[in-house]
Each structure stands twice: as C-alpha cells, then as structure tokens.
Chains A and B, each alone.
Chain A
C-alpha cells in the first residue's frame, strides 16, 4: 500500500499547462521533436533554451520558433495547424517529401500527439471518430505515429461522459499499432508497451483510485 501511494506526486489532477511543462521537462536535451496540433502545441511554451530542442513542422521546416505576433506574421511561414509562426537561427526549409522522410525515416526523436483512445499495448486512435457523418481527415498523424522513435500522447484520461480513453483495445479507427510509449494525462502518466500498462506517477489520486477508472490492469512502474 505504501509503495503504491508513493507514486502520487500531486494532490490534485494536473491542468493542461502543468502537463505541458512536465512533457517539456521529460524531453532529452538535443532532441528533434514534432508537436501535434492542439494540446501538444502547449509543450513548446515550456521548452528551455538550454535544452537545445529543435522543433519540426510537417509542412517543411526544422527550427520552428514561437507563434508569430504583430509584424512577424507572414502567410508563407505557418505551422501544421496553419498558425503563423517564426523561424529560429539555424532553421531550414524543405519540401514535403523530405519533411515526411524526416518522420518516416525514423529521424525524429519524439512526437507528441493528442488522442481519442490509447490501448494497453500502445495502439493509437486519434484521427477519426468513425461517426457516419464525420468528414475524415488524417494529415500526418499516421506518419508520425509510425515513424517517430518515441510517440508520446497528451490527453485527458476521461471523456466528458467519464469513460476512460486508456482502453483494452481501441474502438475508434486506428492511427497506428503498438506505437505509443508514454501517455500523459491529467490524472497519471502511463507507460505502455508489450508488457502492459505501468503507472509512473499519479496526480490527485492513488493507484487504486486510478485503477477504478481504467479498464486495463495497472502496475506501478519501477522508479526511473
């Protein structure tokens, strides 16, 4: 019991910014990183210059800087979410086939993606609800999921209806199979893989309380 509760590192669930700060802190210095649209984009706000992280954007750039403001806004310089951004010293531009060769060729150290569901073995569903009236749009999600060395997910643990997004097997259409290695949620950080789901730390709940919310067997991860 005491060993289980010891992985609780916060008295309350983490907000989006706290979670983004944690993901940023976990990225190894010198990494090449792609941040997905939405919540993962927040991570860039917490990367420290001394980490020397290079951000990749799928539309053909390494060395992407922060969002552009005022006079910096340039329609020819946007990110994957089509938001105007800036370039940092040392940036490079390249065409789309090269940009996706960077992903697909295994050159990116980390990508951070949002998700509808992640399975116990690291399957990812994040591009399509499968609803009959939905207009599907996949973008670069499947390439990132398959190509990056480490695929991290950021999401709330529960849907608005209270269902766990960490599941035994995804009911939404898949983006990639067995690709996710770590899942950052408001209630816990999960490590996924062939050996099942281990919990690195919990926020505002004990491992037992967490287990009551999640339909897959959980165990505490060995301390890093």
Chain B
C-alpha cells in the first residue's frame, strides 16, 4: 500500500525503539536530512542504523548519533575529518560498530531485497573483517560467506516520484537508495518533486514503486 504523506513526522511515525533503519546517502549526497530530523523528533531510540558512513558534521545522522539514539552502526567508513559525534561515542564505548567492506555492505543489502540467503565473495578473505566467517575455495579463489542485511525501515531520498511510487534519483545521490528500498519491510522516500502517474518515462525509472511504501515531498 502506497501512501503520500503531508509531513515527514507522519512518514517516520512507525519507527519503534530497537528498529533497524537503513538510511540512504554517501556522505551528504542522498542523505534524507528531513526524514532524519523527523526521526530525531519522534524519539525512537536503541536503533541499529545501516549507512555507508556514521554522520558528518552537525546534521542528519551525526545528530542522531550525538543524541544517543543509535545503539549500533553497520557501515563501511565511519571515520572522517568531521565524524566527531561518532568518534566520541565510539571512544566512550557507547556505540557498537559492525564494520563492513563497502561492496559487502551493498551486496548484503541487495541480497536482502532479492531474497538471497547469503553469498560467497573474495572480498575480505584473509583479513580481520572475515575472521570467524565460513570460507570456501570457489572459482579458483578463496571466498567468504556473507549474509543479507534486512531492515524494518529504509529512509531514502530521491529526486522525483510519480503517482505509482516509481522513483528517479539525481547524479551520485542515487547511491544506496535503490537497494535499501528493496531491502526494508517499509520504505519511506523523501522527494523534491511529485508528478502524476504517467509523468515519468517507464524506461528511466530506477526504483519501481513496488518497493516504496510512503512518499513525502520536502521543500
């Protein structure tokens, strides 16, 4: 069931304490800042957040971390020049980190959306990030077993939605949006523009509306 909502508050109202939330974006590109602000306001806590990074500066995911709402981060690249809120929480032992090679992060999210129970990949073989994981010699190389990452909710940002919930993105802000939309039980997309059904060329649609549950237009 697809809902078009008037406010970001309504869009995140279903997020409960302890939920796993995928948040789109690579750095600030594609990060759904308005939805994250609404998540901050709604008070949900003990969240597991899946994102490539762990927040930049003093906005978006960084604030969610600063306010102590995030119990665990699943990400590939938490440490940046302006990741001070994550750094402080991590050093204080107040946030759990599951560090995942970026390609494994993307493929584990994709696997969840595609109903795949796990896959073998050479990435990470022989490194500390593969310690304790099952390995097999396949296709002439050692490979590591990786499992899907599912989520209760995905919060993503797209450029335009049509009346069927089909989405298109803009430039490198696309990043994790399409795979997170498929991986979560409930996907919320904030968009800059709404067009009527038929207003997007079917040939250029990136995320088919079947993956999208709620759409909210932000200024």
Spell out A's residues near B (CB within 8 Å): 57-61, 74-78, 82, 87, 93-97, 99-101, 103-104, 128, 133, 135-143, 146-147, 173-177
In the complex, which residues of chain A have a beta carbon less than 8 angstroms from the beta carbon of B133?
none
Is A140's CB under 8 angstroms from B101's CB?
Answer: yes
Is A96's CB under 8 angstroms from B175's CB?
Answer: yes
Give the A-B contact count at a CB cut-off of 8 A: 142
B122 CB within 8 Å of chain A: yes
Interface string of B54-66 (1 = CB under 8 A from A): 0010000000000
Give the residue among B99, B103, B106, B110 with the most A Cβ atoms within 10 A.
B103
Is B128's CB under 8 angstroms from A97's CB?
Answer: no
Q: How far is the CA of A103 from the CA of B91 in the complex (A)?
A: 33
Q: How far is the CA of A19 from the CA of B128 in the complex (A)?
A: 31
Is A93's CB under 8 angstroms from B103's CB?
Answer: no
If A95-B179, A97-B109 touch, whether A174 touches B174 (CB-CB below 8 Å) is no
Is B173's CB under 8 angstroms from A95's CB?
Answer: no
Q: How far is the CA of A139 from the CA of B33 in the complex (A)?
A: 22
Is B102's CB under 8 angstroms from A100's CB?
Answer: yes
In the complex, which residues of chain B have a beta carbon less than 8 angstroms from the beta carbon of A78?
26-27, 29, 172
Interface string of B113-138 (1 = CB under 8 A from A): 00000000111111111000000000
Is B91's CB under 8 angstroms from A142's CB?
Answer: no
Spell out B's residues near A (CB within 8 Å): 26-30, 52, 56, 76-80, 83, 86-87, 90-91, 97, 99-107, 109-110, 121-129, 169-179, 206
Is A97's CB under 8 angstroms from B101's CB?
Answer: no
If A82-B27, A135-B87 touch, whether A61 touches B172 (CB-CB below 8 Å) is yes
Q: How far is the CA of A59 from the CA of B53 in the complex (A)?
A: 12
Among B97, B107, B121, B175, point to the contact of A60 (Cβ < 8 A). Answer: B175
Q: How far is the CA of A109 from the CA of B96 in the complex (A)?
A: 37
- Measured CB to CB, the closest approach of chain B to A116, in angstroms, equals 14
In the complex, which residues of chain B have a beta carbon less than 8 angstroms from the beta carbon of A176?
125-127
In the complex, which residues of chain B have a beta carbon less than 8 angstroms from the beta carbon of A99?
106
Is B102's CB under 8 angstroms from A140's CB?
Answer: yes
Q: How far is the CA of A143 from the CA of B103 in the complex (A)?
A: 6
In the complex, which residues of chain B have a beta carbon less than 8 angstroms from the beta carbon of A146?
122-125
Give the residue among A96, A142, A174, A175 with the most B Cβ atoms within 10 A.
A96
Is B76's CB under 8 angstroms from A76's CB?
Answer: no
Is A76's CB under 8 angstroms from B78's CB?
Answer: no
If A97-B107, A137-B78, A147-B123 touch, whether A142 touches B29 (CB-CB below 8 Å) is no
